[in-house]
Amino acid sequence: MRKKFVRYIATLTITLFIVLTPLFTEASRPILIEGAMECETNFLIEKLQNPQEQRIGGWRFISGDYEGIPVVVSVTSVGMTNAAAATVLGIETYHPLAVINQGTAGGHDAALHRFDIVLGAETIDLSAWVSKRENKGADGRHIELRPTYYYDDGIEKQEVELKADSELLKVAAEEGKNYQAGKVVVGKISSSNNWNRQIDRIRFYNEKYGSSCEEMETHAAAHICKNYKVPFLGIRILSNTEVYNEDFAPATGLACQQYVLEVVKAYAKNKQIKTDA
């Protein structure tokens, strides 16, 4: 009888370990929030409790807690290369539960103004294209976007559009109902190392590819997360739009960070991560 009881306890302990360990591990993994500039990250860093800064190469990472939720803020610096490198380092170092790349963007969609937020259901790389053969002239309209290459279980795959994590997107869209500074829409984020101010080109990208806004980091971060199979979402606030001649407004960066923290809380609740709230 005693042996049966001991075996029962041992079996129960092993079962509980197998079932509960992933839950505890998930709860301890941070959410990695990325931003390229100080106006896109300073507020996030100020809100962290027990912040600890680490520099890896030229990139800053500040880890801490936000209302009981483990968070790492990554200051990626500007551009696709910086975003990709910082995302690799962030994933390898902190093993995040999810990655949110957020910050400012220029508007493409005529329905959007400054302080409106785009949730990137898809991201595209506007710098990856092939042109038609032309002996004379150079028309930027005669292009087709090239795919992004990534590996899935050792198999190379290609996609022009990289899709956001469905759970993160749903949580962010729901939280968008509470956003007061503008409207929150589900759209498509375009990335490249370019800053377009040509109205015809902006309209072309919007009409042909469905681009809602442009910036310089999101697709690169999405690409890395695709390879690592880490849930990803891009969140971008319009800081300027040439469509309406609305110049860059630094205050938009603060509004975006405030909204992102609400998304983080809602996502943590979804994942049953204990918070102080």
The answer to whether residue 14 scores a pLDDT higher than 90 is: no
Model confidence at 16: pLDDT above 90: no
For residues 263 and 173, what is the distance between their CA atoms, to the nearest angstrom? Answer: 9
**pLDDT, average across residues 116-134:** 94
Look at residue 209 in the predicted model and tell me its pLDDT. Answer: 95
- Say how far apart CA 175 and CA 260 lie, in whole Å: 9
Grade residue 3 by pLDDT with cuts at 50, 70 and 90: low
Is residue 182 within 8 A of residue 113, CB to CB? The reply is yes
CB 81 within 8 A of CB 35: no
Q: What is the pTM of this model?
A: 0.89
Instruction: Specify whether the CB–CB gap between 100 and 165 falls below 8 A.
Output: no
| 17 confidence band (pLDDT: 50, 70, 90) | very low
Does the pLDDT at position 261 exceed 70?
yes
Of 105, 90, 92, 115, give the one whose Cα is nearest residue 219: 105
Identity of residue 21? T
| pLDDT at 55 (0 to 100) | 98
pLDDT at 276: 74
Say whether pLDDT at 255 is over 90: yes
pLDDT at 27: 72
Residue 24 has pLDDT above 50, yes or no: no
**What is the b/e burial string over 4-38, where b = at least 16 CB atoms within 10 angstroms of the residue's CB?**
eeeeeeeeeeeeeeeeeeeeeeeeebbbbbbbbee
pLDDT at 7: 59
CA separation for the pair 274, 37 (Å, rounded): 30
| Mean pLDDT within 4-26 | 49
Report the C-alpha gap between 192 and 124 in whole angstroms. 9
Q: Which residues, in sequence order, are bridge partners of residue 144?
A: 130
Residue 128, classified by CB atoms within 10 Å of its CB into exposed (0-12), middle (13-18) or buried (19+), is: middle
Tens of pLDDT, residue by residue over 211-253, are: 999 999 999 999 999 999 999 999 999 999 999 999 999 999 9
Instruction: Quote the mean pLDDT of the chain.
Output: 91
Residue 45's alpha-carbon distances to 126, 234, 262, in angstroms, are: 30, 19, 15
Strand spans (E) along the chain: 31-35, 49-56, 59-66, 69-75, 98-107, 117-125, 129-131, 143-145, 148-152, 155-159, 162-163, 184-191, 213-215, 232-240
Residue 21, pLDDT > 50, answer no
Q: How far is CA 6 from CA 14, 17, 19, 118, in A?
A: 12, 16, 20, 57
pLDDT digits (tens, 9 = 90+) for 37-87: 999 999 999 999 999 999 999 999 999 999 999 999 999 999 999 999 999
Look at 139 and 142; give whichever has higher pLDDT. Answer: 142
Interatomic CA distance for residues 144 and 128, integer angstroms? 9
- pLDDT, residue 9, reads 59
C-alpha span between 133 and 217 (Å, rounded): 30
| 203/103 Cα distance (integer angstroms) | 22
Best CA proximity match to 33, nearest among 107, 83, 68:
83
- For the ranges 38-42, 140-144, 219-223, 264-268, which has the lowest average pLDDT? 140-144
